[in-house]
Amino acid sequence: MAEPKLLSTQQIAEHNTAKDLWIVVDGQVWDMTEFAPEHPGGIGIILQYAGQDASRPYNEVHAPSLLNKTLTSSKLVGTLDTSTISDDWAKPPPQENPKVQLKNEKPPLFTLLSTHDFEAVAEKTLAPKTWAFYSSAATDLVTHKANQTLFDRIWFRPRVLRNIKTRDTRARIMGQEVELPIMCSPAAMAKLVHPDGEKAIARGCQNKGIIQCVSTNASFPIDDIAGALSPTQGDPPPIFFQLYVSKTRSNSEALLHQVWDLGIRTVFLTVDSPLAGKREADERVRMDDDQQGIPMMTGAGKPMNDKRGGGLGRLTGSFIDEALDWSDLPWLRRHWKGRVVLKGVMCAEDASRAAAEGLEGIVLSNHGGRNLDTSPPAILILLDLQLNAPHVFERLEVYVDGGIRRGTDILKAICLGATAVSLGRPFLYSLNYGPEGVEYLIDMLKDELSVAMALVGITSLDQAHPGLVNTNDLDYLVPTTEGHPYARKRRRPLRAKI
């Protein structure tokens, strides 16, 4: 095999337009001309580094192996001749602001006592754009807030004089035993929080005996994340995979086959996000005012906001197929032989349809309040199922995702029929401390759950039942019919032209 061609900085710098675009990553020179327009985050960030060294922004959000796996070998045009590097070459592009160095702002991990503490630290120490991306929710944040506050309106009905000396928080999720009934929700680009991103989450979750659901938009390829785990003894890895179906179906098909080959046997199909909601906090933080090497930028020249703002959440989903519907489930079954869970069910009618379609599970979720504001809070959807579609609990597993912040929240959901719950933002905020933070969060939630079980009067989760909670403060919010109880669609008569 021939040695890669040595290229000088002057030669590389000549390829600096959208029609002839080279970049350098870790000493390798890549021709990005064809790929750049298809980049999920837009051509802007690639064009910003056209004819230059893009190693730093690339490595802040991508796995080192991603270019070799994404592009063909023909796109590797050579290697950088380091003897030609000058001071001018080494300078960052003029549009890029220097990164703010945060020193001694994170308190010691052992001083954090709750998920709220992790959130408070994240708000102060994450890059502003990263914080805006993860913390933001749709428009007036009504659903985002209600996801949490409705849990506070459910009261326990504890039983006393029970022997609660020994308690067991273990559960089973899709046939896999876990140390407590929680999962790490899929979230995009965790490398924005920590260099090891989803790999650090994977290690933390495995060490504490819970399952991570990996996003299609993860910072690392799924095989890199799976490779960060310790080998399992004949069992499936403690990973599920979340799928956004691509407009180019062949891309999703290839991804599903790759996931299967890794031994992963459960896919979560996200159905509540055919497009992103209006997340104003994310839109307001201008990307060109807060450069952190984030690749999800748009624009033809420099990383400018478009006329709608600078929403990273909006820009990451441009590849998602908005035409996906129930009739596509047979397509998914042809290319995935494992279990399928619908993520984003928000009413009893769709839960019943999922059961009738033979799906193995559903996630009751409004996407963390990030898409349709005033969509129902997750715990309210669980009550909707109990009243209007109780049969689904016998036919598939039901998970609650949204607003879980305490061990008491976990127990309330389990009492009301959930198989398990899923948390997103708390895991991202705990990742601020690396895998140790993830493990610390899980231990914290396990302790809170165990204490709540003891004080309610149960010693294992199979003893949880609806009689242990009082939902009277929410019951009037639960729909009682499929349609509106009294309002009817009225056809307005056409007025004659005068």
Q: Would you name the residues annotated as active-site residues? A: 244, 272, 367
Residue 22 to residues 14, 48, 405: CA-CA distances in angstroms? 9, 11, 46
What is the C-alpha separation between 237 and 227, in angstroms, rounded? Answer: 10
Q: Assign residue 119 a region (left: φ > 0; alpha: ψ between -120 and 50; beta: otherwise).
A: alpha
What is the C-alpha separation between 198 and 213, in angstroms, rounded? Answer: 10
What is the C-alpha separation between 145 and 283, in angstroms, rounded? Answer: 19
**Look-up of token digits 């390798």:** 28
Residue 438 dihedral angles phi and psi, to the nearest 5°: -60, -45
The answer to whether residues 219 and 63 touch, using CB atoms and an 8 Å cutoff, is yes
Residue 435 dihedral angles phi and psi, to the nearest 5°: -60, -30
Please, what is the end-to-end C-alpha distance for the chain in angstroms?
82
The contacts of residue 292 (CB under 8 Å, 6+ apart) are 60, 99, 127, 129, 130, 192
Token reading at 261: 């080959």
The three-class DSSP label of residue 401 is strand
Is the torsion defined by CA of 288, 292, 293, 296 positive or negative? negative
Q: Residue 121: which of 344, 432, 371 has the closest Cα?
A: 432
